Chains A and B, each alone.
Chain A
Amino acid sequence: DAKTTQPPSMDCAEGRAANLPCNHSTISGNEYVYWYRQIHSQGPQYIIHGLKNNETNEMASLIITEDRKSSTLILPHATLRDTAVYYCIVRRRRDRDDKIIFGKGTRLHILP
C-alpha cells in the first residue's frame, strides 16, 4: 500500500502557482519526502526532496509541515509543459530494503 495520499487530479491556470498536496501521516523520522513527475509515458523526472526543512530549487518549492505529516509541492508559475502526473513518495534513509512505493499520484492539468 502507498504510504502517501494525493488527490487524483487538479487543475491550475497557466501562469498561476500550482500547489499539490500530499499526506504522509505515517512518515518516520528517517524518511525523506520526494516528488517526481511523469509526462505521458516518459520516465519519471525527479523534482525535489526534503527531510524536515522547506526546500527550493529551479523547478519547485517543497513545503513540509512541522509535524512532517503532510507536504505541498509548489510550481510557482505553471506552464502547459507542467501538465503531468505528480508523485509524492517517502523513502527511508537507510541503504538497504529501500522498497520504494509509488501511489497513483495527482494528474495536474494546466489550463490555458
Chain B
Amino acid sequence: DSGVTQTPKHLITATGQRVTLRCSPRSGDLSVYWYQQSLDQGLQFLIQYYNGEERAKGNILERFSAQQFPDLHSELNLSSLELGDSALYFCASSVRAGGDNEQFFGPGTRLTVL
C-alpha cells in the first residue's frame, strides 16, 4: 500500500459523458501527478500539480482538466468521453516537485467507455 488513494476503482460510462476521478496523496506529499495507461499507448504522463499550482503538462487532451485543492487532493475531469479514453488512470504523489524525489502511485481507476 503506497498511501495514495484513488476513487472510484472502476467506472463504466457512455460516450459523450463526463466523469471525475479523485486522488488523495500520501500524508505530507504536496505534489500530485496524473497518468493514463491504455493497452496501445503505455503509461502516459498527463499533468502535475504542486501545492495547488500546475507545474508540468504532458499529453493531456483539451477535453481533460485537473485541479488540486487546498487540502491537496486532486481531481481529474474527463469530458465528452470517447471509446479511446478507456484506460487505467493513475495518480501519483511526491513530497516535492522536481525529479529528485520519488513518486508513489495509487492503485488506479479503470475507466471503461461504452
User: Which residues of A pack against B, CB within 8 Å?
Assistant: 31-32, 34, 36, 38, 41-46, 49, 51, 87, 91-105
Are A95 and B97 in contact (CB-based, < 8 A)?
yes
Which DSSP category, helix, strand, loop or mixed, fits chain B's interface? strand
B-side interface residues, number (CB < 8 Å):
31
Whether A44 lies near B99 (C-beta < 8 A) is no
B residues near A (Cβ < 8 Å) are 2, 4, 33, 35, 37, 42-45, 48, 50, 55-58, 88, 90, 92, 96-100, 102-108, 110
Please give the distance in Å from A87's CB to the nearest CB on chain B: 7
- Provide the bound-state CA to CA distance between A34 and B99, in Å: 9
Chain A, residue nearest B99 (CB): A91
Q: Are A96 and B88 in contact (CB under 8 A)?
A: no
Question: By the criterion CB–CB under 8 Å, are B58 and A46 in contact?
Answer: no
A101 to B33, CA, bound (A): 12
Closest A-B pairs by Cβ, 8 of them: A91-B99, A43-B105, A95-B98, A95-B97, A102-B43, A46-B102, A100-B45, A92-B99
Q: Is the CB of A93 within 8 A of B56?
A: no
Would you give 12 A-B contacts (Cβ < 8 Å), ordered by A? A34-B99, A45-B2, A87-B43, A91-B99, A93-B100, A94-B98, A96-B55, A97-B55, A98-B48, A98-B98, A99-B45, A102-B35
